[in-house]
Amino acid sequence: MSGFVFNEKPIQIEEGDGVWLSDDAGNEYLDMGASYACVPLGHRHPAVDQAAKSQIDRLTYVQASYPNAARTRLYETLADTAPDPIDKVWLCNSGTEANEAALKFARAATGESKLVATMQGFHGRTMGSLATTWKSKYKKPYEPLAGDVEFVPYDDPEAMRDAVDEETAGVIVEPIQGEGGINPASTEFLEATREATEDAGAALIFDEVQTGMGRTGSLWAAQESGVVPDMITAAKGLGNGYPIGATLCREWIADEYGSHASTFSGGPVISAAADATVSTIVEEDVPSNAAAVGDYLRAELEATLGDEVRDIRGEGLMIGIEVGRGAMGHLKQLAMSEGVLALPAGRTVVRLLPPLTLTEEDADHVVDALESVIVE
């Protein structure tokens, strides 16, 4: 069993429907994190599931050098919806793989090797991505990793300017750190990072595995700061629950990406699901709901819990509540007595990452649940 066990008596999640989950005993839970930013449209979204089912009836696999129609549609949708001038797409199967590719592409396109990453950052667990991940607990047993990584304090423009030099291939940054505790970067930091990478000829990678797909109130968090990186990586919510990752690039990266490939890259079924996911998010303006309900939820949390907790922060429906060392206890109690499933971020933060279709009524339910657990 990996990760966090949120309940003393083991539960088996059997069914999902929108923002709700139910277990084998018929108990219902509001999903404020059990789907981990992977289901932006809610569980069992008909457009996504139907797209996958229809594709299964037509074609499930063809080798990647033979274009398949579903992949071509997904390429076009991602190129159309990525911030200009990002319009090249590399597809894979997870977030760590999307970052692994981005780090390789940065080295190939620049001819340099040094990578710069941020303290408390998280980018995945394969050897390259792991080398840019901060926490030593995740790295120690597997060292040596891909060397030549310099870590700078997150959200420190001066430290970033000092770290990026002529030998830098790439800088990888989360616009809001997820695993690190829901830490939003200032626009000043992102602008300084953009300027430093541009001056040094290095590639700037935004890891949007957790922030992307509308969670922060725009399809990409990059669109909120106005800072356009050279690459954006996406995964988690990109397939509304089906496994897929993507590395979106500017042309200068795609022109010199080296030689990189993966057998299941852009498979027809996952491509159909992801295309339906992105298209539905855009057509139904789901990011606006994330922004509105996120603002509402944060304001209500502030009014109800502001005096009880250390901090409430985030953007859209990516919210962290700093409760101190009691985070795990609160999460267990939320699950057991209130039927709300959330996630920890580190030891001190309760993290909310619900489907982006959450309503104000659902938000009220969460505030009541947190109030009874934290205040009472």
Q: Is 209 annotated as a binding residue?
A: yes
Residue of the chain from 94, 110, 265, 280 that contacts ligand PMP (CB under 6 A) = 94
The torsion angles phi and psi of 132, rounded to 5 degrees, stand at -95, 0
**103 lines the binding site for ligand PMP (CB under 6 A):** no
Q: Which two tokens stand for residue 338?
A: 């209130």
Identify the H or E element spanning 340.
Answer: strand 340-341
Write the CA distances from 104 to 101, 151, 169, 207, integer angstroms.
Answer: 5, 18, 9, 14
Residue of the chain from 112, 155, 207, 362 that contacts ligand PMP (CB under 6 A) = 207
Query: Which amino acid would we find at residue 156?
Result: D
| Cβ–Cβ < 8 Å for 32, 42 | no
**96 lines the binding site for ligand PMP (CB under 6 A):** yes
Q: Is 33 annotated as a binding residue?
A: no
Residue of the chain from 172, 235, 269, 327 that contacts ligand PMP (CB under 6 A) = 235
Could you tell me which stretch among 50-58, 121-129, 296-304, 339-347 binds ligand PMP (CB under 6 A)?
121-129
Residue 182 to residue 122: CA distance in whole angstroms: 11
Q: How far is the CB of 348 from ligand PMP (least distance, A)?
A: 18
Residue 149 to residue 168: CA distance in whole angstroms: 9
Q: Which is nearer to ligand PMP, 319 or 363 (CB)?
A: 319
**179 lines the binding site for ligand PMP (CB under 6 A):** yes
Cβ-count burial 106-120 (b if 16+ within 10 Å, e if not): bbbbbebebbbbbeb
HSE on the CB side for 231, CA within 13 Å?
Answer: 33
Number of residues that bind ligand PMP (CB under 6 A): 14
**175 lines the binding site for ligand PMP (CB under 6 A):** no
Q: Which is nearer to ligand PMP, 118 or 280 (CB)?
A: 118
Q: How far is the CB of 27 from ligand PMP (least distance, A)?
A: 27
Q: Is 251 annotated as a binding residue?
A: no
Residue of the chain from 83, 95, 128, 287 that contacts ligand PMP (CB under 6 A) = 95
**366 lines the binding site for ligand PMP (CB under 6 A):** no
* HEC profile of 77-139: HHHHHCCCCCCEEEEECCHHHHHHHHHHHHHHHHCCCEEEEECCCCCCCCHHHHHCCCCHHHH
Q: Which of 21, 76, 29, 90 is nearest to 266 (CA)?
A: 90
Per the listing, tokens 């800088």 go with 171
Q: Is 357 annotated as a binding residue?
A: no
Q: Which is nearer to ligand PMP, 67 or 153 (CB)?
A: 153
Residue 297 to residue 316: CA distance in whole angstroms: 9
Q: Which is nearer to ligand PMP, 318 or 374 (CB)?
A: 318
Residue 302 to residue 280: CA distance in whole angstroms: 31
Q: Is 339 annotated as a binding residue?
A: no
Beta-bridge partners for 203:
170
Q: Which is nearer to ligand PMP, 94 or 197 (CB)?
A: 94
Q: How far is the CB of 207 from ligand PMP (least distance, A)?
A: 5
Q: How far is the CB of 66 from ligand PMP (least distance, A)?
A: 26
User: Which residues are annotated as part of the binding site for substrate?
Assistant: 125, 262
Q: Return residues touching ligand PMP (CB under 6 A).
A: 94-96, 99, 122-124, 174, 178-179, 207, 209-210, 235
Q: Which residues are annotated as a binding site for pyridoxal 5'-phosphate?
A: 95-96, 122, 207-210, 263
